[in-house]
């Protein structure tokens, strides 16, 4: 361990000097490979807190995929279905619980996870390392690495892949500081524990909250705790499937996260699963092709004949009506919000993506309207009384 670590530069190449350091004591981390930068460490330390808390709250291995100091995805290590293995390009691979957690986190929004920072709650095993080796990623943080896993990771990016090991027992100071424009801000660290006790205040007529929905609510809240505000998170089956971060309007958060959730749902459509890619196509190119295929502009792409560079057979168009019909068959999703929903329009938008469970702080002067909108659709909504802004 060391007291400080000099960095190449800060957020941008002109921002020098740059370093991370402790005013007293040693840094609770060490670099096992590569040369992580300023933004790498911002992602690493935010993502580590998320997965550590998620593991403590659920008892399951947890992982996150971070980009620009917000999660593109987060998940716990439940087994993958055969369909999930296909859409995450994880077929015919040995999958440990830790590997499943990262594959799910990465699979929430594979386009945004391109060049991500990975965080693992448990020791990185070789199964997880082998999957990471296949993806475009900047680095990983974990409490440890098996020898075999470390050897695999050291072969990535021509030997320059960033590997950070953090002391899992490290506890930061209760008060934290941040400098902005030469002025120091001070606040108490947000150490509010997120657990099932927060979910007892169910304000809707439907009060049936099954265990899997409680787990998904907890996952949504912990994800939001480390997402740049304003933020909204859609969750299904132990993984975030749509995160809307850093929007100024609550409804825009809900729409952005909802559109990402819809994209995740549509990746499981039979027409998407049936796409026949040309031989040797790279994983990112497949992701981009699927994203374009699901976009509103795809018919124009077909007309231009560009599909021949990606697909063996000309794909059948998935129409807007077909997409809407598929999403209408979905159910069981959970939505979390880092602050209250000011209007029922957020609930209306969430309903369109199959949301049945909502967790949010409450406290709007229009809570009665938001609750009434939930009741209209038979949803379950819990008020936590706890805001989760993160800046």
Residue 177 annotated to the active site = no
187-190, Cβ contacts within 8 angstroms, sequence gap of 24 or more: 190/225, 190/388, 190/390
What does 267-317 look like in DSSP terms, one character per residue? TTSHHHHT--BPTT--HHHHHHHHHHHTSTTHHHHHHHTGGGGTBSSPPPP
Q: What is the C-alpha to C-alpha distance for residues 170 and 143, in angstroms, rounded to an integer?
A: 10
Q: Choose, from 40, 46, 52, 67, the residue flagged as catalytic.
A: 67
- CA–centroid distance for 119 within its chain: 11
Tell me what the mean pLDDT of segment 220-238 comes to: 96
Task: Indicate the pTM of the whole model.
Answer: 0.95
pLDDT band for position 300 (cuts 50, 70, 90):
confident
pLDDT for 1 equals 53
pLDDT for 310 equals 87
pLDDT band for position 2 (cuts 50, 70, 90):
low
The candidate with the shortest Cα–Cα distance to 168, out of 108, 123, 115, is: 123
pLDDT for 206 equals 97
CATH number attached to the domain at 175-266+327-383: 3.40.140.20
Q: What is the C-alpha to C-alpha distance for residues 189 and 6, in angstroms, rounded to an integer?
A: 25
DSSP 3-state of 285: helix
The candidate with the shortest Cα–Cα distance to 247, out of 272, 227, 226, is: 227
Tell me what the mean pLDDT of segment 49-59 comes to: 97
Q: Choose, from 33, 46, 162, 230, the residue flagged as catalytic.
A: 230
pLDDT band for position 24 (cuts 50, 70, 90):
confident
19-26, Cβ contacts within 8 angstroms, sequence gap of 24 or more: 26/1, 26/2
The backbone torsions φ and ψ at residue 123, rounded to the nearest 5 degrees and listed phi first, read: -55, 135
Supply the DSSP symbol for 126: H
| Tokens, residue 307 | 């599909």
pLDDT, tens digit (0-9, with 9 covering 90-100), for 245-254: 999 999 999 9
Q: What is the C-alpha to C-alpha distance for residues 118 and 158, in angstroms, rounded to an integer?
A: 18
Which parts of 217-319 are beta strand (E)? 231-236, 239-245
Residue 68 annotated to the active site = yes
Domains 4-166 and 175-266+327-383 agree in fold? yes
pLDDT for 306 equals 65
Q: Please give the mean pLDDT across all residues of the chain.
A: 94
Residue 67 annotated to the active site = yes
Report which of residues 309 and 361 the model is more confident about: 361
Q: What is the C-alpha to C-alpha distance for residues 263 and 294, in angstroms, rounded to an integer?
A: 7
Q: What is the C-alpha to C-alpha distance for residues 158 and 184, in angstroms, rounded to an integer?
A: 40
DSSP 3-state of 180: strand
Residues 6+ apart with CB under 8 A from 306: none
pLDDT band for position 118 (cuts 50, 70, 90):
very high
Q: Choose, from 68, 212, 269, 369, the residue flagged as catalytic.
A: 68
| Tokens, residue 327 | 């999403």
Domain boundaries, the chain: 4-166, 175-266+327-383, 270-317
pLDDT band for position 129 (cuts 50, 70, 90):
very high
pLDDT band for position 308 (cuts 50, 70, 90):
confident
User: Which residue shows structure tokens 């659709």?
Assistant: 377
pLDDT band for position 367 (cuts 50, 70, 90):
very high
| Tokens, residue 141 | 């943080």
The candidate with the shortest Cα–Cα distance to 247, out of 222, 226, 228, 225, is: 228
pLDDT band for position 162 (cuts 50, 70, 90):
very high
Q: What is the C-alpha to C-alpha distance for residues 56 and 218, in angstroms, rounded to an integer?
A: 11
CATH top-level class for 4-166? alpha beta
Residue 92 annotated to the active site = no
Q: What is the C-alpha to C-alpha distance for residues 215 and 236, in angstroms, rounded to an integer?
A: 10
């Amino acid at each position: 361990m060391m007291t400080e670590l000099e960095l190449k530069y800060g957020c941008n190449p002109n921002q020098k000097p740059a370093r991370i350091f402790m005013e007293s004591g040693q840094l609770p981390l060490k670099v096992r490979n590569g040369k992580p930068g300023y933004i790498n460490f911002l992602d690493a330390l935010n993502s580590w807190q998320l997965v550590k808390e998620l593991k403590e709250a659920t008892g399951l291995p947890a992982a996150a995929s971070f980009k620009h100091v917000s999660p593109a995805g987060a998940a716990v290590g439940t087994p993958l279905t055969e369909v999930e293995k296909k859409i995450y390009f994880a077929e015919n691979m040995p999958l440990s619980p830790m590997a499943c957690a990262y594959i799910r986190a990465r699979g929430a929004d594979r386009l945004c996870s391109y060049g991500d920072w990975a965080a693992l709650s448990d020791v990185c095993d070789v199964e997880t390392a082998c999957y990471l080796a296949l993806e475009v990623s900047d680095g990983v943080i974990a409490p440890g690495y098996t020898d075999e896993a470390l050897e695999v990771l050291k072969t990535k990016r021509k030997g320059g892949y960033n590997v950070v090991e953090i002391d899992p027992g490290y506890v930061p100071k209760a008060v934290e500081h941040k400098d902005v424009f030469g002025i120091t801000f001070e606040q108490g660290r947000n150490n509010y524990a997120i657990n099932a006790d927060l979910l007892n205040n169910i304000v809707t007529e439907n009060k049936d909250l099954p265990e899997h929905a409680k787990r998904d609510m907890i996952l949504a809240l912990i994800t939001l705790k480390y997402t740049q505000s304003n933020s909204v998170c859609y969750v299904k089956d132990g993984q975030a499937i749509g995160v809307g971060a850093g929007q100024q309007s609550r409804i825009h958060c809900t729409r952005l996260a909802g559109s990402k959730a819809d994209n995740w749902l549509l990746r499981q459509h039979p027409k998407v699963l049936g796409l026949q890619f040309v031989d040797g196509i790279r994983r990112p190119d497949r992701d981009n092709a699927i994203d374009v295929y699901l976009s509103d502009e795809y018919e124009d792409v077909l007309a231009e004949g560009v599909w021949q560079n990606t697909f063996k057979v000309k794909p059948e168009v998935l129409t807007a009506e077909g997409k809407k019909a598929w999403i209408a068959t979905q159910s069981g999703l959970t939505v979390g919000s880092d602050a209250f929903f000011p209007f029922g329009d957020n609930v209306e938008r969430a309903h369109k993506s199959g949301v049945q469970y909502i967790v949010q702080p409450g406290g709007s002067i229009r809570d009665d309207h938001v609750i009434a909108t939930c009741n209209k659709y038979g949803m379950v909504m819990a008020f936590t009384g706890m805001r989760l802004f993160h800046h």
